[in-house]
A and B are shown apart, each in its own frame.
Chain A
Amino acid sequence: MADCWNTDTGEAVYRSRDAVKNLRIKVRIERVTSTAALSQHLQQQVLFQQDRGDIELETLTSQGQTGDNEEEVVVGWQEKLFSQYEMELFQNEAACQTPLDRQYHAEVKALNRTKGRRNHRIFTYTDHDRYTSCLPLHQMQSGDLLTTTKSSPTFLAERMASVRHRRQERRTMDCNIPKTKIINWEPTEEFVKNSHVVNNAMQTMHIMGDLGPTGRLGQKENECLLITIKTDGSGTVIVKPDFNKNKEPYRIVTDRDRREVWRLTVENISTTMKPEEKDREQNMYKDLYVRHKEYLNSLVGQDFEMPPAGILRYLMNGEIVSAKGFEYDNLYIHFFMELPNNWSSLPFQPLSGVTQTCRTKTLEKENVALFSYPFNFEAFYMSEKESEESILQWPVLYFKVLSLDSWQRYRTEGYGYLLFPAMPGKHTVTCHTWRPLQTGTSSVLRRFFIGGSPELEDHSYVRIPGTFKGERLSRFGFCTETTGSVTFNLHCIQQARSFVDAAMLKKRRQKVFDQLGGFSQQGAVCNILEAFQRARRKMQEARESLPRDLISATSQLQIESSA
């Protein structure tokens, strides 16, 4: 009968905030012998047929010789359990070279004086042992990775194996980098090895099993790596192979003349935190976060500046970025904002500005002047009666581009306008400009030599003249010439009290005007509906609370009166 084995021997990574010294692992190895297999098979058959009561169990229990074929040990983190080989080695004082060896010697002598070691076949290599870092290389050299046996480890593999995986001090990444020595101009060989090669400072522990035949323990060839546990300092634990967790045990096949099969079971028996302690920890964390939030609140305060109800505040942070494609050099821009009806702004708010004069540079066949000029603008919109206007008019920014050269000649280069965007957010707008032309050569000559040029008297002519009343705007007969373009970066923010209500009632915002003006109607209707619902509910409750006979009496009265 074939047992099924667990063939998935990959690593598993666990993360835990608990200290790693609380880790406890139970390891169990059992040799699979023929008698054991047979008795197990028969036992299973008997259990299957137990209800029929045919075969008695007593005759089939296998006893004797189980002492050496299985072992179960509970191992803690970095707990040193000696193997037979190590016990014999460290008993001899002459073999001890390092202080660690001497410590082991003392421990072995103490163990011999008391009842001896509690493990028999299973032993461990801790982080400090000299064999610990050699094991991966040893495994690699035995041809684990590739099928061909002749491949030798690569240069990087050799380097990695010879790097001592020591625990380096934690270097915090904040601002504790030493200011004097950022660059290491003369790195040592050791430094190069440690920093060029992947060096995760991990603490390792190997749990080994001595799988030699009974009575001949203590041979180095029979040692087999059972489990590797690695951890870094911050709560990650890597276990290879993973815990069995109610799946089948792992199989270890010894590769000597007599191939034997052993079964390996690994279990995690670390004590978990009690639920009260967990609750306490959670409460502490919650407390900490609440306190932090209160501290943040106390720094600034809870209030926030809001405009009065029914008023939309429009904030624009913008900058004039550049101007390009103009005829002459040394450009500057003069701009001002215009507010239509129902818009107002603060009294000290500057509504116009002049940039610096900038000499252009050539960028991709065009002359570009970079201004990087910031401006802030804040305006308030008050809606009066909704029925009058259907379209909301946004403010406009009119600008003109002029050039001033070293001879103090100044010329108009172009006029343009920019309509403030209706949607809040970031907008990059490029406005094209034109300048008025006068037919005839005299104006061209004047512009070239002396520097005068025709200008607009009313800047709003660029868009819709202020004096315009009518239906059709006609610019017939007005000559212009196309000049360059100006780029603006605008960041628009809108704020109103009704946005808060809209957000709470989860309505989609359509037009700002709707929200401000029309919303009050919708709000009123909703209020009335709510009031009606409340009154109805009250009436129903009152009705139910009245005694039954009163209701029937009144209904009878009604019937009588109607009859």
Chain B
Amino acid sequence: MAELHIIGQIVGASGFPQSSLFCKWGVHTGGAWRLLSGLKEGQTQVDLPQTGDMAYWSHPIDLHYATKGLQGWPKLHLQVWHQDSFGRCQLYGYGFCHVPSSPGHHRMSCATWRPLGSWQEQLAQMFVGGGPQLRNPDLIYSGADRYRLHTEAMGTVELELGVIMRHFDKYGVES
């Protein structure tokens, strides 16, 4: 049985059209993985930066997994939302990255994209907000049906993750 610790934070996001953002995040693993302690999903606070473009959350991630196999390595999925001054929430992007498999400190940027509707919907989105969302968020980390989507590129989310692995070398795993 090997153990994996993921200790880090979601630092913030930048590059989005507006800056009052919050993020819903979650970690998805395969069947052989077992979460021993920590919360594997959550939502950050809404941050409105006064200067500059980057919204900072500094949201902690602290997970302890135990596993029986290498398949289904944990993946982190993110949804970035925008909250405007009226309190309405609008989707700004879906993003995805694998948790690094080599031990140490990693600073990662996760790119995000947003689904596009028809041109009428885009026009309405410019005025009223809203816009299409994925019916099933599993699409973010499966990738099988992605070819049907038409998306547009949005900003990036910065993450800092520290990975500690235990007993993996006893089973001949080299990373």
Contact = CB atoms under 8 A, between A and B. Distances in A.
Contacts of A503: 169-170, 172
A318 interface: yes
Interface string B87-122: 000000011111011100010101111001000000
A461 interface: no
Contacts of B141: 374
A14 B60 CA distance: 32
B113 A356 contact: yes
Nearest to B143: A374
A496 B174 CA distance: 8
Interface string B131-161: 0000000000101101111111110100000
A370 B34 contact: no
* Main DSSP-derived SS at the A contact region: strand
B129 interface: no
B172 A497 contact: yes
A4 interface: no
Nearest to A357: B150
B125 interface: no
A319 interface: yes
B111 A372 contact: yes
Contacts of A187: none
B143 A353 contact: yes
Contacts of B156: 370
A296 B66 contact: yes
Given A296-B66, A373-B143, A426-B106, A495 B1 contact: no
A451 interface: no
A361 B143 contact: no
Contacts of A371: 111, 113
Contacts of A354: 146-147
Interface stretch (B19-27, B50-58, B69-77): B69-77
B168 to A, nearest CB: 9
A358 B2 CA distance: 39
Contacts of B146: 354-356, 373
Contacts of A300: 1, 34, 66-68
A319 B68 CA distance: 24
Interface in A457-500: 489, 491-500
A350 B142 CA distance: 12
Nearest to A490: B98
B97 A319 contact: yes
A500 B170 CA distance: 6
A370 B153 contact: yes
Contact of A370 (B32, B70, B111, B174): B111
Interface residues of A, number: 56
Nearest to B45: A182
B73 A424 contact: no
B151 A357 contact: yes
Contact of B151 (A315, A318, A358): A358
Contact of A499 (B71, B97, B144, B174): B174
A489 B144 CA distance: 19
A299 B66 CA distance: 9
Contact of A356 (B2, B150, B171, B174): B150
Interface stretch (A154-162, A212-220, A302-310, A545-553): A302-310
B170 to A, nearest CB: 7
A305 B32 contact: yes
B175 interface: yes
A321 B174 contact: no
A375 interface: yes
A175 to B, nearest CB: 9
A494 B97 CA distance: 20
Given A354-B146, A361-B152, A491 B100 contact: yes
Contact of A359 (B15, B101, B150): B150
B126 interface: no
Given A370-B153, A424-B102, A493-B175, A296 B147 contact: no
Contacts of A425: 101-102, 175
Nearest to B153: A370
A395 to B, nearest CB: 17
A358 B172 contact: no
Contacts of A495: 70, 171-174
Given A297-B1, A304-B2, A500-B170, A358 B153 contact: yes
B124 interface: no
Q: Which of A306, A321, A368, A374 counts the most B-chain CB atoms under 10 A from its CB?
A: A374
B123 interface: no
Nearest to B67: A300
A494 B34 contact: no
B68 A489 contact: no
A81 B106 CA distance: 59
Given A369-B153, A375-B143, A495-B171, A426 B36 contact: no
Contact of A306 (B15, B71, B169, B172): B172
Given A363-B15, A372-B96, A317 B101 contact: yes
Minimum-distance CB pairs A-B, first 9: A370-B111, A305-B69, A499-B172, A370-B153, A356-B149, A359-B152, A354-B147, A425-B102, A300-B66
29 contacts: A300-B1, A300-B67, A301-B1, A302-B1, A303-B68, A305-B68, A317-B101, A350-B144, A355-B143, A355-B146, A356-B150, A358-B152, A359-B151, A363-B15, A368-B153, A370-B154, A370-B156, A374-B97, A375-B143, A376-B73, A424-B175, A489-B97, A493-B73, A493-B175, A494-B174, A499-B172, A503-B170, A503-B172, A509-B174
Given A296-B66, A317-B101, A356-B150, 12 more contacts: A300-B1, A306-B171, A318-B98, A322-B153, A355-B146, A358-B153, A370-B154, A372-B95, A373-B146, A426-B106, A491-B102, A494-B173
